[in-house]
Amino acid sequence: NAGVTQTPKFQVLKTGQSMTLQCAQDMNHEYMSWYRQDPGMGLRLIHYSVGAGITDQGEVPNGYNVSRSTTEDFPLRLLSAAPSQTSVYFCASSYSSGGNGYTFGSGTRLTVV
Amino acid sequence: GQQLNQSPQSMFIQEGEDVSMNCTSSSIFNTWLWYKQDPGEGPVLLIALYKAGELTSNGRLTAQFGITRKDSFLNISASIPSDVGIYFCAGRRAGTASKLTFGTGTRLQVTL
């Protein structure tokens, strides 16, 4: 039982490049979310999903796309990386609507130069 | 977007001291959560609160759901070096499905 697995752990991109951050969970959780963490700003919700085939925008969705074709996977795509997207990205999953608390992955540290 | 106001932002305490931190919002929440984040890791859930006035403990940690439903408090008793980290509050408003709003965090450092 691996919990929430994020890959890669570190990534450096050039401005304008695209990439996909991977997130997989093996707990059969319905709810999954992506957050970004910036110094002094806590965690901000990018996109979330309440089940396979269903996604919605969070607080800071611009520049990011998501899809949820399976219960297990919830990849986050950066379409054209910008320096403002330099951050630590966390994927999280939960059985229910977050009331029991999300389980977080260990994060992906992304630097855009 | 809204974020929760968490205070203090940081604190240095001596081992054995008790710690208090709080989280406030202008909105009503129906769930409050407290997380701890160690360096290089994701947040880990410490305590979940579901009712106004609820007081819940987890070892040396005690958290309370404020009666106004707009605040929550976390206390750590007899701090130890492994309590070092960033503590986040998070809240969920009614009707917002899986969306959590996070506080800006309290960085705790414990000196021997």
Q: Which residue in A23, A102, A106 has the most chain B C-beta atoms within 10 A of its own C-beta, making it the best mutation to test that interface? A: A102
Mean pLDDT of chain B: 92
Taking the Cβ of residue A87 and every Cβ of chain B, the question of whether any pair is shorter than 8 Å is answered with no
Please check the confidence at residue B2 and state whether its pLDDT lies above 70.
Answer: no
Distance (Å, whole) CA A89 – CA A107? 5
- Is 70 exceeded by the pLDDT of residue B57? yes
CB contact under 8 A, B102 and A31: no
CB A44 to CB B31 under 8 A? no
Residues of A in contact with B88 (CB under 8 A): 42-43
3-class secondary-structure state, position A81: coil
In this complex, how many residue pairs, one in chain A and one in chain B, have their CB atoms less than 8 Å apart?
73
pLDDT tens-digit readout, B96-108: 766 889 999 999 9
* Model confidence pLDDT, tens digit, residues A45-65: 999 999 999 999 999 999 999
Q: What is the pLDDT, as a whole number, of residue A95?
A: 83
Residues of B in contact with A101 (CB under 8 A): 33, 35, 45, 48
Task: Name the pLDDT band for A41 (thresholds 50, 70, 90).
Answer: confident
Q: How does pLDDT run across B7-51, given as a tens digit for each residue?
A: 999 999 999 999 999 999 999 999 999 999 998 899 999 999 999
pLDDT of residue B98: 67
Handedness of CA B22, B28, B30, B31 (dihedral sign): negative
Q: How far is B9 from A41, CA to CA, in rounded Å?
A: 11
Decide: helix, strand or coil at residue B83. Answer: helix
Q: Give the separation between CA B53 and CA B34, rounded to whole angstroms.
A: 15
Q: Which two tokens stand for residue A73?
A: 């996977």
Is the CB of B100 less than 8 angstroms away from the CB of A59? no
A21 has a chain B CB within 8 A of its CB: no
